[in-house]
């Protein structure tokens, strides 16, 4: 099941199997030359990143306990023992999110802008124009190859986000099992308030949905970056100017993403309802997570379709062919939803 989901979302699913241009470019990426090779290298990258984060988390936990053998007994009674761990997770979450956004944008932008620029400098442009491959398929190939060349960075970002979600879950479960007397969120089950277990259970669906959105968002963003960089590349302007345009465009997108983040932060207020009406609050929080996913995917998908329509028009001009209006539905069929 996981492999089928991966194959459906990979760059190889963005182009027809018979596209010769993408197959030729994919063979140049040694770690992603085929769907099977891309799957194995991606799985390895994600597992390595997750393992590194889990080891770091475990080292921090053991160092804290080894530094003060009486840590459990001496810790202030009004603070949970996992307060410092949650502070560490929050700091890592903010730091990695702030780092992976520009990193993925810059590398994806560079790979996309260089596609047609390399054709011009290597003398392949006239060969492309004389080939039987239609302009739409050239765009599809470059859209997929940009994702493929950036895929390793994407897997590091996804692995980091999955690792943060995992160590958050470990912080809930592992310390109480290792250290008797540990006070954490799960200790609420032993609270005299009988509603605490229901409150915790009500939050689980929303937490799972937010985790899925948090992990999947870089993939959706990479598709947006690939479409935007290809739309810039077909303008055939000097590379420094296109990079400047691309940076401005990514800043605008980052600003819009910031609005979504603010929306997400506001939606966390739904958690407050959980403490008043547990079941209703859990449903509201889960619906807010679904709404966030819908907003992000709709915005990214609409922008991708718009850029790809523009790219098709520009490619027909470059091909010196009269432009035949492409129905929106036909462009959408070639555009991965996201």
Which residue has 């109480």 as its token pair? 176
* Model pLDDT, residue 331: 38
pLDDT at 272: 59
* Distance from C-alpha of 121 to C-alpha of 214, rounded to nearest angstrom: 39
Query: Residue 274: CA atoms inside 13 Å, Cβ hemisphere, count?
Result: 22
Q: Is the dihedral of CA 200, 203, 208, 210 positive or negative?
A: negative
pLDDT at 159: 94
11 burial level (CB within 10 Å; 0-12, 13-18, 19+): buried
Alpha helical stretches, state H, 81-195: 83-122, 125-130, 135-178
Q: How far apart, in Å, are the Cα atoms of 230 and each of 31, 53, 111, 170?
A: 23, 34, 9, 41
Longest dimension (CA), the chain: 79
Question: Which residues contact residue 7 at a Cβ distance below 8 angstroms, ignoring those fewer than 6 apart?
Answer: 13, 35, 39
Instruction: Write the CB contacts of 110 (distance below 8 Å, at least 6 apart in sequence).
Output: 243
**How many residues does this entry show for the chain?**
338
Instruction: Check residue 172 and give its pLDDT.
Output: 79
Helices (H), 268-326: 270-276, 278-318
Task: Please report the pLDDT score of residue 277 as a whole number.
Answer: 66
Which pLDDT score is estimated for 41? 93
Q: Would you give per-residue pLDDT tens digits along the chain (338 residues)?
A: 788 889 888 998 888 877 888 888 888 888 888 889 999 999 999 999 999 989 988 887 777 667 655 655 555 554 565 666 777 777 777 788 778 888 888 898 888 888 777 777 666 777 777 777 788 888 888 899 999 999 999 999 999 999 989 988 888 777 777 776 666 666 655 555 566 667 777 778 888 888 898 899 899 989 999 998 888 888 766 767 777 877 887 787 777 767 766 766 666 555 555 556 667 777 777 887 888 888 888 888 888 888 888 888 887 777 664 443 343 434 333 444 44
Q: What six digits make up the tokens of 81?
A: 């023992």
* pTM, 2 dp: 0.81
pLDDT at 265: 62
Quick one: pLDDT at residue 219?
Answer: 92
């Amino acid at each position: 099941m996981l492999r089928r989901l991966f194959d459906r979302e990979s760059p190889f699913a963005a182009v027809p199997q018979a596209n010769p241009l993408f197959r030729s470019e994919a063979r140049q990426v040694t770690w992603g030359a085929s769907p099977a090779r891309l799957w194995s290298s991606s799985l390895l990258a994600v597992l390595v990143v997750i393992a590194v984060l889990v080891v770091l988390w475990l080292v921090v936990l053991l160092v804290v306990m080894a530094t003060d053998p009486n840590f459990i007994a001496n810790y202030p009674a009004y603070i949970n023992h996992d307060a410092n761990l949650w502070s560490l997770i929050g700091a890592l979450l903010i730091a990695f999110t702030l780092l992976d956004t520009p990193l993925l944008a810059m590398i994806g932008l560079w790979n996309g802008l260089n596609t047609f620029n390399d054709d011009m400098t290597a003398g392949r442009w006239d060969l492309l124009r004389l080939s039987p491959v239609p302009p739409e398929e050239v765009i599809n190939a470059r859209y997929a190859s940009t994702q493929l060349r950036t895929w390793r960075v994407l897997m590091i970002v996804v692995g980091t986000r999955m690792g943060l979600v995992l160590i958050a879950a470990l912080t809930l479960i592992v310390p109480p099992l290792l250290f008797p007397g540990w006070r954490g969120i799960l200790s609420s089950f032993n609270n005299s308030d009988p509603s605490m277990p229901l409150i915790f259970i009500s939050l689980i669906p929303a937490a799972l949905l937010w985790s899925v959105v948090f992990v999947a968002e870089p993939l959706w963003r990479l598709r947006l970056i690939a479409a935007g960089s290809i739309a810039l590349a077909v303008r055939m302007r000097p590379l420094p100017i296109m990079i400047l345009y691309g940076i401005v465009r990514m800043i605008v997108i980052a600003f819009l993403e910031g609005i979504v983040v603010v929306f997400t932060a506001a939606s966390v207020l739904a958690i407050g309802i959980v403490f008043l009406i547990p079941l209703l609050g859990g449903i509201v929080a889960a619906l807010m997570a679904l709404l966030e996913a819908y907003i992000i995917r709709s915005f990214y998908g609409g922008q991708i379709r718009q850029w790809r329509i523009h790219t098709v028009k520009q490619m027909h001009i470059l091909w010196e062919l009269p432009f035949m209006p492409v129905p929106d539905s036909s462009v959408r069929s070639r555009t991965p939803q996201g």
